[in-house]
């Protein structure tokens, strides 16, 4: 069995703040990645969205972890635009619903929530691994979390392996030819560039690892 | 990408206020045509909602002006939802617009085929349906530079969007039913094809840097409308050579019957002057006629742009008598105005 750590609403708020901080720090890097195969606004849009999430959570801090994730997702849908707004927005809402109304959640519930997020993104975006999208980072991360849960890994070990898997998936997008999203219009010219959506997704998983490890 | 490296020469105040300030300015310039709902960031026809009329809404990222706000008014759109530059608007805007223009005869969302636009409009349509408003969406995908296959997000929506908004808007204005208006918009999408080239990149205000660098003497072939690179890079051709590429790409895919009447829309990407667009139109007009098509209507100018990008696109729409009459019908918007 996994070590019984209980995560709560504060965990969600800390995770969202951690994402906002890393997106802000890497904003121009994400813009550069997107300029190569998209239109160069990914960092700007996510920065606007997660800053709005931080603000929303600070003005409505009370609620269960599930409620706060749903609020975060709604805020992203309302502020990001583009494809990443609906995709991450719906993902966080589905993750929040998966957590239900309980005041705390454990590692197994966290894995369920992340699996629900992945399912939502694949459902809306119709992307599969290998399409050069955020799925290429998120899918291996969820698989790594499931594996960690099955072997009774500690929360730190499980999330470290998830973050590493997401980053490996992110790097694996470089030689891929995009089949979804705006980069797909470039055809073969999309090869050789790291996908910005996979990159921000890896940042979101790394932020989760730092949050749960408690060592930002 | 520090501020010091910025190469932006734009008439703006703060980069993050560009869209809002531009919308306010547009509304100030045509107060008889439309109003700007600041809270919802939408542009709404001045007399909306028009009771009993099918309402047309479009939207998308900003940076394509006059699309879409410049096409709000009598005989065209009832509302436009502008997002940030090159970024799809959010469902809240589309839902607010849908409620603001719903005249009880149905609402049509005209959506350009980009993943973000399609997802956000779908979310808005679902919410509108929950509130009892009948919404239909037409996704425009006329760009022949992209193959519609499992390996892409499908063809992009470009120039045919302008023609669909004009023709659908005219049908709605004369009182056609929801089904009839939808039919005309779908017909424009089915019988319209586009292809574009770029001679320069463009600089989104928020990043302050060109999206790509195009060396002297080269052009991007098969571009969209977001300053993104095209399908391939080629040596910069003469107007005649560019017209050859455009007409071949569009007519071979459209496969119109010989002798067909067409509307030829030569569109500037934002940074190419009318001097060149008219010249290009002349080259295209000759080639269309040589291909057995008669350009009985045309539109020349910058109507669906990519900020200050230099370049042009060609859209050819196969016309019939009904579409021609709807094209000729009166329109009163900031960017298109005739008849009436």
Compute the distance between CA of residue A134 and CA of residue A126 in angstroms, rounded to an integer.
12
* CATH number, domain with residue B169: 3.40.50.10440
**Closest alpha carbon within chain A to B147:** A185
Q: Per residue in B110-154, pLDDT tens?
A: 999 999 999 999 999 999 999 999 899 999 999 999 877 667 788
B243 and B315 in a single domain? The answer is: yes
Please tell me the distance in Å from B255's CA to the nearest CA on chain A. Answer: 23
Compute the distance between CA of residue A205 and CA of residue A216 in angstroms, rounded to an integer.
13
Q: Tell me which residue in A28, A85, A180 faces B90 most closely, judged by beta carbons.
A: A85
Inside any domain, residue B10: no
CB pairs under 8 A between A and B: 114
Lowest mean pLDDT among A14-18, A122-126, B288-292: A122-126
Q: Per residue in A153-185, pLDDT tens?
A: 999 999 999 999 999 999 999 999 999 988 888
> CB contact, 8 Å: B87 with chain A?
yes
Cis peptide before B68 (omega within 30 of 0): yes
* CATH number, domain with residue B241: 3.30.1180.20
Asked if B207 lies within 8 A of A41 by C-beta distance, the reply is yes
Q: Per residue in B261-312, pLDDT tens?
A: 999 999 999 999 999 999 999 999 999 999 999 999 999 999 999 999 999 9
B172 and B249 in a single domain? The answer is: no
pLDDT at B149: 65
Q: Tell me which residue in A82, A86, A185 faces B123 most closely, judged by beta carbons.
A: A86
Lowest mean pLDDT among A43-52, A139-148, B51-60, B143-152: B143-152
Question: B230 pLDDT band (50/70/90 cuts)?
Answer: confident
* Residue A37: DSSP 8-state: H
B31 and B109 in a single domain? The answer is: yes
Q: Does the structure show a pLDDT above 50 at B196? A: yes
Q: How far is CA A152 from the centre of its chain?
A: 23
Q: Does the structure show a pLDDT above 70 at A38? A: yes
- Segment 142-171 of chain B within 8 Å of chain A by CB: 145-146, 150-153, 156
B282 and B197 in a single domain? The answer is: yes
Q: Per residue in B8-25, pLDDT tens?
A: 899 999 999 999 999 999
pLDDT at B181: 98
Number of domains in chain B: 2
CATH 1.10.10.10 matches A7-213: no
Q: Does the structure show a pLDDT above 70 at B257? A: yes
> CB contact, 8 Å: A186 with chain B?
yes
pLDDT at A215: 46
Range of B37's domain?
18-190
Per CB-CB distance under 8 Å, the chain B contacts of A189 are 229, 231-232
pTM of the predicted protein model: 0.91
Per CB-CB distance under 8 Å, the chain B contacts of A126 are none
Mean pLDDT of chain B: 94
Share of chain B above pLDDT 90, in %: 89
pLDDT at B111: 98
Q: Does the structure show a pLDDT above 70 at B6? A: no
Asked whether the beta carbons of B170 and B308 are under 8 A apart, the reply is no
Q: Does the structure show a pLDDT above 80 at B326? A: yes
Question: Which of residues B155, B190, B225 is at a domain's end?
Answer: B190
* Nearest CA among A84, A134, A106 for reference residue A5: A106
Per CB-CB distance under 8 Å, the chain A contacts of B90 are 77-81, 85
**Cα torsion angle, B76, B80, B83, B87, sign:** negative
B97 and B217 in a single domain? The answer is: no
Question: Which of residues B168, B190, B212 is at a domain's end?
Answer: B190
Inside any domain, residue B5: no
B226 a catalytic residue: yes
B149 and B244 in a single domain? The answer is: no
Q: ipTM score of the complex?
A: 0.86
B327 and B281 in a single domain? The answer is: yes
* CB contact set of B17 (below 8 Å; sequence gap of 6+): none
pLDDT at A2: 43
B64 a catalytic residue: yes
B43 and B164 in a single domain? The answer is: yes
Inside any domain, residue B7: no
Compute the distance between CA of residue B59 and CA of residue A183 in angstroms, rounded to an integer.
21
B243 and B162 in a single domain? The answer is: no
Domain ranges for chain A, please list them.
7-213
pLDDT at A6: 81
B316: part of which helix (H) or strand (E)? strand B311-318
Inside any domain, residue B97: yes
Q: Does the structure show a pLDDT above 90 at B340? A: no
Compute the distance between CA of residue B219 and CA of residue B234 in angstroms, rounded to an integer.
5
Which of A43, A46, A81 to mutate to test binding with chain B, by most B CBs within 10 Å of its CB? A81
Inside any domain, residue B8: no
Mean pLDDT on A38-56:
93
Asked if B123 lies within 8 A of A184 by C-beta distance, the reply is no
Compute the distance between CA of residue A111 and CA of residue A37 in angstroms, rounded to an integer.
32
Asked whether the beta carbons of B282 and B314 are under 8 A apart, the reply is no
Tell me which residue has tokens 């320069």. Answer: B200
B254 and B280 in a single domain? The answer is: yes
Query: 3-state class of B303 per DSSP?
Result: coil
Compute the distance between CA of residue A132 and CA of residue A186 in angstroms, rounded to an integer.
12
B96 and B229 in a single domain? The answer is: no
B106 and B235 in a single domain? The answer is: no
Tell me which residue has tokens 């599930």. Answer: A66
Inside any domain, residue B112: yes
> CB contact, 8 Å: A182 with chain B?
yes
pLDDT at B4: 42
Query: 3-state class of B141 per DSSP?
Result: coil
């Amino acid at each position: 069995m996994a070590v019984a750590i209980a995560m709560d609403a504060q965990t969600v708020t800390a995770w969202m703040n951690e994402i906002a901080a890393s997106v802000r720090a890497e904003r121009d890097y994400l813009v550069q990645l997107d300029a190569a195969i998209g239109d160069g606004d990914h960092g700007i849009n996510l920065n606007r969205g997660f800053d709005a999430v931080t603000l929303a959570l600070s003005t409505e801090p009370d609620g269960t972890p599930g409620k706060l994730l749903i609020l975060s997702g709604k805020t992203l849908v309302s502020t990001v635009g583009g494809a990443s707004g609906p995709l991450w927005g719906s993902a966080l809402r589905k993750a929040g619903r998966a957590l239900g109304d309980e005041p705390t959640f454990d590692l197994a519930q966290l894995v369920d929530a992340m699996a629900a997020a992945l399912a939502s993104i694949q459902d809306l975006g119709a992307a599969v691994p290998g399409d050069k999208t955020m799925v290429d980072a998120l899918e291996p991360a969820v698989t790594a979390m499931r594996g960690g849960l099955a072997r009774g890994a500690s929360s730190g070990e499980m999330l470290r392996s998830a973050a590493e898997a997401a980053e490996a998936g992110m790097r694996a997008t470089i030689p891929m030819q995009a089949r979804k999203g705006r980069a797909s219009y470039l055809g073969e010219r999309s090869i050789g560039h790291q996908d910005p959506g996979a990159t921000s997704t890896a940042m979101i998983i790394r932020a989760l690892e730092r949050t749960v490890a408690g060592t930002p | 990408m520090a501020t010091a490296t910025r190469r932006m020469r734009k008439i703006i105040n703060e980069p993050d206020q560009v869209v809002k300030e531009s919308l306010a300015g547009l509304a100030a310039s045509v107060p008889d045509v439309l109003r700007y709902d600041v809270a919802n960031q939408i542009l709404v026809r001045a007399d909306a909602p028009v009771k009993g009329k099918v309402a047309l809404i479009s939207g998308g990222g900003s940076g394509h002006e006059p699309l879409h706000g410049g096409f709000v008014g009598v005989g065209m759109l009832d509302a436009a939802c502008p997002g940030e530059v090159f970024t799809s608007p959010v469902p809240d805007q589309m839902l607010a617009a849908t409620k603001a223009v719903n005249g009880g005869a149905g609402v049509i969302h005209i959506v350009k085929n980009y993943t973000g636009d399609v997802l956000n409009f779908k979310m808005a349509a679902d919410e509108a349906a929950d509130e009892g408003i009948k919404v239909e969406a037409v996704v425009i995908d006329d760009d022949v530079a992209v193959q519609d296959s499992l390996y892409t997000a499908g063809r992009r929506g470009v120039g045919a969007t302008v023609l669909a908004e004009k023709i659908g808007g005219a049908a709605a204005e004369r009182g056609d039913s929801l089904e009839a208006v939808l039919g005309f918009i779908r017909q424009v999408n089915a019988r319209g094809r586009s292809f574009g080239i770029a001679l320069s990149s463009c600089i989104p205000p928020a990043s302050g840097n060109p999206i790509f660098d195009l060396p002297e003497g080269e052009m991007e072939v098969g571009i969209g409308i977001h300053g993104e690179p095209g399908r391939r890079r080629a040596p910069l051709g003469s107007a005649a050579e560019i017209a050859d590429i455009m007409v071949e790409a569009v007519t071979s895919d459209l496969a119109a019957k010989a002798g067909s009447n067409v509307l030829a829309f030569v569109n500037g990407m934002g940074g190419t002057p009318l001097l060149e667009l008219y010249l290009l139109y002349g080259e295209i007009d000759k080639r269309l006629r040589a291909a057995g098509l008669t350009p009985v209507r045309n539109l020349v100018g910058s109507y669906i742009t990519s900020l200050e990008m230099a370049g042009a696109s060609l859209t050819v729409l196969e016309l019939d008598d009904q579409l021609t009459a709807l094209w000729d019908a009166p329109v009163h918007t900031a960017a298109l105005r005739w008849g009436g």
